Amino acid sequence: MWQLSPAQPQLVQQESNYAIHIRQKFNQSSFYPLTQIPSTNLYKPIGDWVGRLILPTKQQLQDGLDWVWMEVQYAPPTAQHLVGNIVRLEWKKNQDLLAFAKVVTRDINFTSEVIKSQKQGNIHPFRLNGVRQVGFLRSLAGANPDDNVIVALDSTAIIDATKEKSILQIEREPVLASGRFYGLVKIVKPIKSSEKSILFSNAKQDSDYFLVQHYNANSNKFDGLQETIRIPQQVHR
């Protein structure tokens, strides 16, 4: 059975922009269903693999190894059965690669200045405070207060299917991502309130929805399919 790191409160006296943004549904990974895949003619995956990093439990962090859990959100055609599953993400068993990982491994202990900064609403990897031998993958997974760091992995990732649980091994650093797919479009116009009331019953702000036109690879022009997309506004304190 998978053991995941429980959510922990960050000691703050002032609410951060992160805390405000994460309450908005469109900033939460669960807002985008894994089974909802856009047209492959209009959108491309940002990587061969895309996933959400999950920091191991406090007990698991004591092993001093650089691995994390990852919820697979996109996978190559040969590994579609892993989409939605949680796998172990680790480095490939390569001596040069493991030596590099060791060089960037550090013990994490917050100073009084960091604690003060944290209370002012600044985000620090507080779940890693006091943890020894934190490597690249764990520092990435623990960067935010929540397990919501999305990354893309390249085709060098492999599945170790010889063990009881699925293990994904990589030889290149994960790349931070903001979503699973991307497209190239031209913004035609914003959708006005009167138009949105017909298209979207819960639309509130005029600047949220836009009519866009997709790039056409055949004509090398933005004369492809038109559709309405949402570009959410960010709220700052």
Map out the domains of the chain as residue ranges. Answer: 17-181, 184-230
Predicted confidence (pLDDT) per residue in 32-57, tens digit? 778 888 888 899 999 999 999 999 99
As a whole number of Å, the end-to-end CA separation of the chain is: 40
Comparing CA positions, the residue from 173, 115, 179 lying closest to residue 139 is 173
* Continuous H helices in 82-128: 95-103, 112-119
User: What pLDDT does 4 receive?
Assistant: 56
Quote the CA–CA distance of 226 and 97 in Å, as a whole number. 46
Predicted confidence (pLDDT) per residue in 190-221, tens digit? 987 655 554 555 545 456 889 999 999 999 99
pTM for this prediction: 0.78
User: What pLDDT does 141 receive?
Assistant: 96
Comparing CA positions, the residue from 94, 169, 106, 172 lying closest to residue 135 is 106
Comparing CA positions, the residue from 56, 49, 214, 61 lying closest to residue 134 is 61
Predicted confidence (pLDDT) per residue in 95-121, tens digit? 888 888 889 999 999 999 998 888 888
The answer, yes or no, to whether residue 14 has pLDDT greater than 80, is: no
